[in-house]
Amino acid sequence: MRSTAREFVRPNRFIAMAIAIVVVFTGLTVRLWDLQVVSGAHYRDLAEQNRVLRLPVEAERGTIVDRNGKVLARNLPGFAVTVIPVDVPRGKQEELAQRLSPLVARKPADVFNAIDVQRARNPYEPVKISLRPVARDVALLLTERGEMFPGVRVEAESIRSYADAVLYSPLLGYVGPVTEEEFASLREHGYLQTDLIGRTGLEFQYEQYLRGQYGWREIERDAAQREIKQLAYSSPTTGNSVVLTIDDRLQKLIEAELKKGVDEDKFTQAVGIAMNPQNGEILAMYSNPGYDNNWFINGITPEQMAQLNGDDRHPLVNKAIGEIYPPGSTFKMVTGLSALNEGVANRNTIVNVTSNVLNVGGYNFYDWRAHGTLDFVNGFAHSSDIYFYTLGGGNPNTGRAGVGPEAIYKYGSDLGFGRKTGIDLPGEANGIMPSPAWKLTAFEEPWTIGNTYHESIGQGFVAVTPLQLLNAYSIVANGGTFYQPHLLKEVVDPQGRVVFTRQPNVVRKVNIKPENLTLLREGARRVVTIGHAYMPNAKLPIAGKTGTAEFGSAAGKDTAGRNKLGFHNWFVSFLPKADNTDPTADIAMVIFTFDSSRSLCENCFNPAVGMTQRILEAYKLGTP
Amino acid sequence: MRRSASPLHDRPHTRRLDQVDPYLLIATLLLIGYGLVMTYAVTVESRTLTGDPMQFVIRGAVWAAIGVAVMATVAMFDYAWLGTFAPLLYLLTLGLLAVVLVIGTSSLGAQRSVNFGGLSFQFSEVAKVLMIVVLAKFFADRIDQIGSPVTVVGALAFLGPAVYLVYRQPDLGTSLVFVAIFFGMAFMAGARLWQLVGMVAVAGASFPLIWGLLKPYQQGRLLAFLDPYADPQGAGWNIIQSLIAVGSGGPTGKGLTAGTQSPLGYLPIAESDFVFAGLAEDLGFVGAVILFALYILLLLAALRIAFRARDSFGMLLASGVVAMLVFQILVNVGMAISLMPVTGIPLPFISHGGSSLVSICFALGVLQSVSMRRTGPELG
């Protein structure tokens, strides 16, 4: 019987086999549905990410130029070495680090770690391995022997380069690598891990203008990470140029004088600032010691950093705005204006300085000589301390009233002391404009008449930045307008179009009567013609005020072996168009020497005066 | 012991051309065509590199023609001859595998092929089919004592040396195909389920022992299968890239040769082990389902041949072929979509490779022979 002959066929097992086949293919189909239909878009993205790499194309940073187009910060071509971690097999990372180490002058462990860190962050993004630009032959080696350097790319980069680095470093600052913490917030603004960013100075202040718009290019790459072809390209846009109000010629004239003094150890530090009182443009700003900001660009060495940090003059601080000093007699302008405007004094107010000592309440307050009878102009011109003690604090011995510390505080604040001017530079100090209330808070002590006397001649608590002092005199020179000091003149795009022009910013009109400002200008002119800052063979109608502040020890040497001479010398000046009291000055200047001797020249009491005369005459009368 | 029929002793069975299985034939030819199309698609990049545009496709077509000729020729003969020469075929199997070990060419760390006359032969592909014949003969002769453990263990004793030789190449994947063939055939022969389940249980229990015998790269593949992202640059790379290729194909694919994973080299061994990923990327879910449909047609046709076979030998031959194909498809496709660990098993018809294709054609020729002779002369 056929049925018995075919008992080797077991139908149940055939059914089971058929079901197994159906189950296998159903399982595979369900899984495929999940991968391809449900998650297709996700995997398509991953395939694109595999295949397409979008690489940034760096844009050149804009230049910084002075008002006449002289380039102060530019870019030089160089090469950067970057690594894309996803292209480095883990097993080869150690070997790669060893090979790259000597070429980029870093420890193998540092190279290894840099790749590791980036691998954890985003392995598809390149991380810059070279701290400073590498030489052309290294770049060539890396590109020609690509198989030995998996994942390594050599990219053209531009290196910031500063002309007259030490001269302009206090102003320009420098650019430096984006830090780990900053990158978190910066990346959404298009910054790369490998980017440089303005760290301080104008590079920091005007990052928004200077930074270029990065482009990108999309490349197709194979599994071996070779670039197959470029798929798309978006070109970068160079950053805008920042045009400063600075005049390089004036800057260098100031440098020539002040650097010579420091080099000859006549003083240890110096500041010179020039400004146009009519609009607040800073024409020059010099701070000595400066530093070579190119050091930071090329990767500062530990030795260089130690040198900067070990200098107790703090070369990294822009003294023009970042440090505060007693203004000395230059502050008599504030005392005088307070007294004049409050009606305590006028041009005919007489003080008889018959002795060089004023004794009040058992304390002696000295003048530098017994001047005799002084009116306002002569009191200012000869910088009589007792004249201004009297205007400020009065004379209890005679019952004469002074204008008092509250008024000095009011006018001093009005003229910009005790608060940042708002100049477009980071790191500006507030200064101290003291008042009785301030002293009570700061020292928990009541104000004394001695405090008023000291303040009246710019000693004691009052402390100013050189810029604040210059700014206050500029207000006097222009007839009462507080223009915000600024360094930005305009912003120019790569095609040369002006995209932004900085307008003069009036902070306030000071609350001082014009005739009082005129009187002060007259006094300041008399300082030069008959007084404390006599200028021999003067060719310009310079007006100004000296100041000498005593501080600390006037003997010995500092840690760097420089003479400690114990005096700060100020000369703050302005130059009217003609020898009159009109508010026409288009240049005001402050020269400040730190730790200088009391007298450095035969004909003057103050080294800053002669320097001012030479600088202004050379600038105004010399050929540009 | 009842000997199965042999043409040496009995009159050969009548060949009936009208009993050629049309479904099996159609599915076979369509799959061979599909395979040529995929060979064209995934070798686009290599073709442009070698400067011989159709090199791989022509070679594939030649092998396909040889395969079809082999299939037709084999179908003409009574499959009973195979039973007659089974002992010789068994020796041939072991001989071929031994030859591979002795003079085989190393590729990717394994000796899997033998070069001869400028061509490379993967003898283990042939050995799989020969082993089906040997096991079919063994089980058919003992179909009455199929419930005895001695029968099952005896079959294992025949299988063992072949599996060992393949494993030594080393080719773990193919040696597992042998094991799958054994289980499939024993199951269809009617072996007791508890014996089969028991063997699986013993194998599972001795897994720690087996683990120790595995080569480090094999262990790595198994670990990577469990968690590809543990080492995405290393062992997990193949799996991840394959998943990306398959998934990115989407419902309808990127278009033939428009896929990127394979031509850009993200898919390793794209024309062979990971060919399915390339197919799924180019042709999408639709293309994969069409392939599955052809497979199902082929397998069910083969199963029907087994069901209608004249004798237990023919039934077991067809069953063995079904078991081999199902297992290879499951493992190869499963590997591409991360349902199975990575092993180097070719995808029937689709993976580029002459030995595999001709071996399968030989097996399908045998099936057609079984089909054509299903209604033998009535005996008595």
Using CB atoms and an 8 Å cut-off, which of residues 217-236 of chain A contact chain B?
220-224, 228
Read off the tokens for B193. Answer: 């389920």
Query: Cα dihedral sign for B82, B87, B88, B93?
Result: positive
Q: How far is CA A351 from CA A387, A408, A526, B187, B215, in A?
A: 6, 19, 18, 128, 107
Percent of chain B with pLDDT over 90: 56
Tell whether A9 and A79 lie within a shared domain: no
What does the alpha-carbon distance between residue B102 and residue B105 come to, in Å, rounded to a whole number?
A: 9
CATH of the domain at A283: 3.40.710.10
What does the alpha-carbon distance between residue A605 and residue B152 come to, in Å, rounded to a whole number?
A: 120
pLDDT for the residue B296: 97
Show Cβ contacts of residue A511 under 8 Å, excluding neighbours closer than 6 positions.
Answer: A341, A411, A414
The residue length of chain B stands at 380
pLDDT for the residue B46: 59
Does A9 lie at the interface with B, CB-CB under 8 angstroms? yes
Tell whether A6 and A67 lie within a shared domain: no
Tell whether A424 and A401 lie within a shared domain: yes
For residue A46, tell me if it sits in a domain: no
pLDDT for the residue A521: 96
Helices of type H across A274-424: 294-297, 302-310, 319-322, 332-341, 376-381, 385-393, 405-414
Q: Alpha carbon A436 to chain centroid distance? A: 33
For chain A, which ranges sit under pLDDT 70? 1-5, 224-226, 551-565, 596-605, 624
Query: Cα dihedral sign for A410, A414, A415, A420?
Result: positive
Residue A52's closest chain B neighbor by CA? B260
Q: How many C-beta atoms surround the C-beta of residue A266 within 10 A?
A: 20
CATH of the domain at A178: 3.90.1310.10
Does B290 lie at the interface with A, CB-CB under 8 angstroms? no
Does B184 lie at the interface with A, CB-CB under 8 angstroms? yes
ipTM: 0.93
Q: What is the pLDDT of residues A213-258, one digit of tens each?
A: 888 888 887 776 667 778 888 888 999 999 999 999 999 999 999 9
Contact assessment for residue A472 and residue A590, using Cβ atoms and an 8 Å cutoff: no
pLDDT for the residue A559: 60
For residue A605, tell me if it sits in a domain: yes
- The conformation of residue A137, written as its DSSP 8-state character, comes to H
Q: What is the pLDDT of residues B198-231, one digit of tens each?
A: 999 998 888 888 888 888 877 887 888 777 777 7
Tell whether A234 and A343 lie within a shared domain: no
For residue A45, tell me if it sits in a domain: no
Q: What is the pLDDT of residues B135-193, one digit of tens each?
A: 999 999 999 999 898 999 999 999 999 999 998 888 888 999 999 999 999 999 999 99
Does A363 lie at the interface with B, CB-CB under 8 angstroms? no
Tell whether A265 and A240 lie within a shared domain: no
The single-letter code of the amino acid at A558 is D
pLDDT for the residue A496: 92
Read off the tokens for A197. Answer: 């960013």
Q: What is the pLDDT of residues B260-271, one digit of tens each?
A: 887 777 777 667
- Residue B251: is the preceding peptide bond cis (ω within 30°)? no
Instruction: Chain B: give the shortest CA distance to residue A50, in Å.
Output: 8
Among A11, A133, A8, which residue's Cα sits nearest to residue A79?
Answer: A133
Q: How many C-beta atoms surround the C-beta of residue A225 within 10 A?
A: 16
pLDDT for the residue A87: 83
Contact B247 A44 (CB under 8 A): yes
pLDDT for the residue A134: 82
For residue A598, tell me if it sits in a domain: yes
Contact B289 A28 (CB under 8 A): no
Tell whether A386 and A496 lie within a shared domain: yes
Tell whether A113 and A240 lie within a shared domain: yes
Can you point out the beta strands (E) in A2-87? 52-57, 64-65, 71-83
For chain B, which ranges sit under pLDDT 50? 378-380
Rg (CA), chain A: 35
Residue A47's closest chain B neighbor by CA? B244
Orientation angle between helical segments B149-168 and B123-141, nearest 10 degrees: 170
- Which of A244, A266, A285 delimits the end of a domain? A244
For residue A48, tell me if it sits in a domain: no
What does the alpha-carbon distance between residue A74 and residue A68 come to, in Å, rounded to a whole number?
A: 15
Q: Which range marks the domain in which residue A18 is found?
A: 2-38
Tell whether A100 and A33 lie within a shared domain: no
- For residue A17, give the nearest of B234, B322, B337 by CB distance: B322
Instruction: Chain A: give the shortest CA distance to residue B294, in Å.
Output: 11
pLDDT for the residue B211: 85
| Number of compact structural domains in chain A | 3
What does the alpha-carbon distance between residue A149 and residue A515 come to, in Å, rounded to a whole number?
A: 77
- Tell me which of B48, B145, B151, B264 to substitute to probe the interface with A (most A C-beta atoms closer than 10 Å): B264
- For residue A8, give the nearest of B246, B315, B326 by CB distance: B315
For residue A43, tell me if it sits in a domain: no
Contact B251 A32 (CB under 8 A): no
Tell whether A31 and A102 lie within a shared domain: no
Contact assessment for residue A111 and residue A129, using Cβ atoms and an 8 Å cutoff: yes
Using CB atoms and an 8 Å cut-off, which of residues 190-249 of chain B contact chain A?
190, 231, 233-234, 241, 243-249
What does the alpha-carbon distance between residue A451 and residue A433 come to, in Å, rounded to a whole number?
A: 12
Q: What is the pLDDT of residues A594-620, one digit of tens each?
A: 876 544 443 446 788 889 999 999 999
The single-letter code of the amino acid at B328 is Q
pLDDT for the residue B239: 86
Domain boundaries, chain B: 30-90+124-372
- Work out whether strand A372-374 and strand A481-483 pair parallel, antiparallel, or are unpaired: unpaired
Percent of chain B with pLDDT over 70: 89
Contact assessment for residue A500 and residue A491, using Cβ atoms and an 8 Å cutoff: yes
